[in-house]
Amino acid sequence: MFYHDKQLQYTVRVDTPSPVFAKMLQQAIGGVEGEIRVALQYLFQSFGARGPAKYRDMLMNTGTEELGHIQMLATAVAMNLEGSPAYLKDEMANADPLLAATLGGMEPRQFLSAGLSALAADANGVPFNGSHVYASGNIAADMYSNVAAEATGRVLACRLFDMTDDPGMKDMLRFLIARDTMHQQQWLAVIEELGGHPGTLPIPNSFDVSEELREVSYDFFATGIEGVEPPQGRWTSGPSLDGQGEFRVRINTPLGQEPQLAPPIPSGYAEVQQMSSETVIAPNTRS
């Protein structure tokens, strides 16, 4: 269960409010790289954790930390909107609010639906979607999902850092970027603890690899037509990362048949011309 404190995890200060930046910050709240996603992702991974309890507990700690980041960013959005054209309009009676809103590039629903506050949505106003909460039940798969989230999250935070000159906002982002630095390595540290590539690959490592078609397990499939050279790299030669095979290049060719489905069944109500696979005759009488 959860508790709260009245104070923010880290100072949120806005020196020069910017409604445009308030819109951009939404991506870090409700975007696919955002804090609602990572908070729920780590918490759901924790809630469903099977196996060593230490991972369940670790995920609970960091999921709880991320809840505080949602709060920081939502507070930052509200503060940035306190200088928005809609906000200022009340003091500038003769301003044209529509033009102002346009020039301001505001997210309209931050005003229309939320009264100058944050939404559970991304920078385009697309609502947060729970399908991004990855919790597969396989710890290595989950750790890589988490690394992906924190890597795209830190890229986003750095881009936001560069978009603003506001000292308060830069200070907040310095904190969040540093936390992403930690979290990337925290999840990778679990991979290391599990034995690194040899200990975890292929994921899941509990599937008996002799069941898979081993002759294509380490082949780079080149799909270019004749004359297109396959790209060379670490993935085209040398030992595989799991230490169990050798990378090779295979020019891709069909190994399967030409697909041929059965004719449609009557109750599927295809056109009558589809009922035979051979010829097409326009029907001229139907009762």
Question: What residues between 218 and 277 interact with its own copies by CB under 8 A?
Answer: 218-226, 228, 230-235, 240-242, 247, 252, 254-277
The number of residues making up the chain comes to 287
Site for its own copies in 67-106 (CB under 8 A): 67-68, 70-72, 74-75, 78-79, 82, 86-87, 89-90, 96-99, 101-105
Q: How far is the CB of 45 from its own copies (least distance, A)?
A: 9
Quick one: 15 or 186, whose CB is closer to its own copies? 186
**CA–CA separation, 174 vs 78, rounded Å?**
19
Assess contact for 151 and 58: CB atoms under 8 A.
Answer: no
Site for its own copies in 15-34 (CB under 8 A): 18, 20-21, 23-24, 27, 30-33
Q: How far is the CB of 148 from its own copies (least distance, A)?
A: 4
**Site mask, its own copies, residues 34-73, x = CB under 8 A?**
--x---x--xx--xxxxxxxxx-xx-xxx-xx-xx-xxx-
Assess contact for 106 and 85: CB atoms under 8 A.
Answer: yes
**CA–CA separation, 120 vs 70, rounded Å?**
10
Q: How far is the CB of 87 from its own copies (least distance, A)?
A: 5
Determine the size of the site formed for its own copies (CB under 8 A).
210
List 38, 42, 168, 190, residue binding its own copies (CB under 8 A)? 190
Which own/partner contact pairs does 32-36 have at CB distance under 8 Å and 24+ positions apart? 32/122, 32/132, 32/152, 33/149, 33/152, 33/153, 33/155, 33/156, 34/122, 34/128, 34/153, 34/156, 35/66, 35/69, 35/70, 35/73, 36/70, 36/120, 36/128
Q: How far is the CB of 41 from its own copies (least distance, A)?
A: 9
**CA–CA separation, 21 vs 25, rounded Å?**
6
Site for its own copies in 161-180 (CB under 8 A): 161-165, 174-175, 177-180
The crossing angle, in degrees rounded to 10, of helices 35-47 and 53-81 is 160
Quick one: 15 or 241, whose CB is closer to its own copies? 241
